[in-house]
């Protein structure tokens, strides 16, 4: 299907700042499950700096605004043709071994409860395929953490989300990466877009899911929050160790530290292709 994306991020400051520098990772790559038909990232008033593709195959660009400024925006629009490969990431160019993604960060570090959950989920599966074990872990996280917005924050860890039993896609993803690491399975955080309703109504954030490395298949996506693998409703933007590392926008404010107000609006609409 064809997915059309509109993603607007607005920053407002309570007093003017001397400048803002941002690292933008807002370009989806072409791979077997998605083909970019058109894509545009507008940073009005900004100076665009270096652009590069990192070792994970994700495109990054630098943008800076010179002050004094009290507001700025980043606007993304585009169209991507997607297909359902049951979450398997194919024809994605990247460098580096999967073992790089066994690294723990503060957000995904396993505590005793996460270690126990991993062990229980995989009990009796010593001879099962890696894919079956990955599905078992994703199912265990979906059962352990109820999807409830507003119960966690941007810096909530996997251990904290599991202890509270409630969270959003970021929490499900962090927890799934954590239990996968306990089982010795490389796993990483993926940021992207999800066409979550037929109407394509605007919502307040992009989406997140995990990719686990499965022998014979490579990287396979698992969206524990929705109990599924990514299909034609998903657009993959980029990956990282955790939500902070994979963030589509990261930045620094120069000068004083005024209060910052952030508004994010994402709209993803689908156009079902006609059969030839």
Each residue's pLDDT tens digit, 54-66: 999 999 999 999 9
Q: Which two tokens stand for residue 159?
A: 């251990």
- Taken in order 236, 240, 243, 246, the sign of the CA dihedral is negative
Measured distance CA(156)–CA(6) in Å, rounded = 27
Q: Low-confidence residues of the chain, pLDDT below 70?
A: 197-204, 272-276
pLDDT of residue 201: 56
CATH topology assigned to domain 2-271: C8orf32 fold (3.10.620)
Give the residue from 183, 205, 178 showing the smallest Cα distance to 194: 205
236-252 core/surface letters (b: 16 or more CB in 10 A; e: else):
bbbbbbbbebbbbbebe
Measured distance CA(113)–CA(181) in Å, rounded = 14
Give the residue from 211, 255, 243 showing the smallest Cα distance to 31: 211
Phi and psi torsions of 32, nearest 5°? -65, -30
- Beta pairing, strands 207-214 & 146-147: unpaired
| Exposed / middle / buried, residue 173 (Cβ in 10 Å: 0-12, 13-18, 19+) | buried
pLDDT of residue 273: 45
* pTM, to two decimals: 0.94
Q: How far is CA 70 from CA 19, 43, 93, in A?
A: 9, 15, 39
Other CB atoms closer than 10 Å to residue 52's CB: what's the count?
9
Total residue length of the chain = 276
3-state secondary structure of 180: helix
pLDDT of residue 198: 57
Measured distance CA(56)–CA(4) in Å, rounded = 25
Q: Which two tokens stand for residue 32?
A: 């077997």
pLDDT of residue 256: 72
DSSP string, 57-97: S-EEEEEEEEEEEEEEEEEEEEEEEE---TTB--S----S-
Contacts of 116 by beta carbon, 8 Å cutoff, 6+ apart: none
């Amino acid at each position: 299907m064809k997915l059309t994306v509109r993603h607007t991020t607005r920053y407002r400051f309570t007093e003017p700042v001397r400048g803002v520098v941002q690292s933008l990772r807002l370009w989806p790559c072409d791979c077997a499950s998605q083909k970019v038909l058109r894509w545009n990232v507008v940073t009005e008033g900004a100076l665009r700096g270096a652009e590069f593709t990192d070792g994970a195959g994700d495109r990054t660009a630098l943008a800076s605004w010179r002050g004094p400024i009290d507001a700025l925006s980043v606007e993304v629009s585009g169209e991507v043709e997607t297909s359902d490969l049951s979450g398997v990431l194919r024809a994605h160019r990247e460098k580096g071994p999967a073992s790089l993604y066994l690294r723990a960060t503060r957000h995904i570090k396993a505590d005793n409860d996460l270690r126990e959950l991993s062990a229980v989920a995989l009990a009796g599966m010593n001879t099962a395929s890696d894919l079956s074990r990955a599905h078992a872990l994703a199912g265990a996280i979906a059962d352990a953490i109820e999807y409830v917005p507003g119960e966690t924050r941007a810096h909530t860890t996997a251990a904290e989300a599991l202890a509270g039993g409630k969270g959003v896609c970021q929490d499900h993803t962090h927890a799934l990466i954590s239990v996968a690491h306990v089982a010795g399975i490389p796993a990483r955080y993926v940021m992207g877009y999800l066409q979550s309703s037929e109407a394509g109504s605007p919502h307040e954030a992009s989406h997140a899911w995990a990719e686990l490395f499965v022998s014979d298949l490579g990287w396979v996506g698992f969206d524990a929050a929705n109990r599924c693998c990514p299909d034609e409703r998903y657009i993959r933007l980029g990956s990282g160790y955790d939500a902070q590392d994979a963030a589509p926008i990261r930045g620094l404010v120069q000068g004083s530290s005024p209060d910052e107000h952030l508004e994010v609006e994402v709209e993803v609409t689908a156009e079902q292709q006609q059969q030839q």
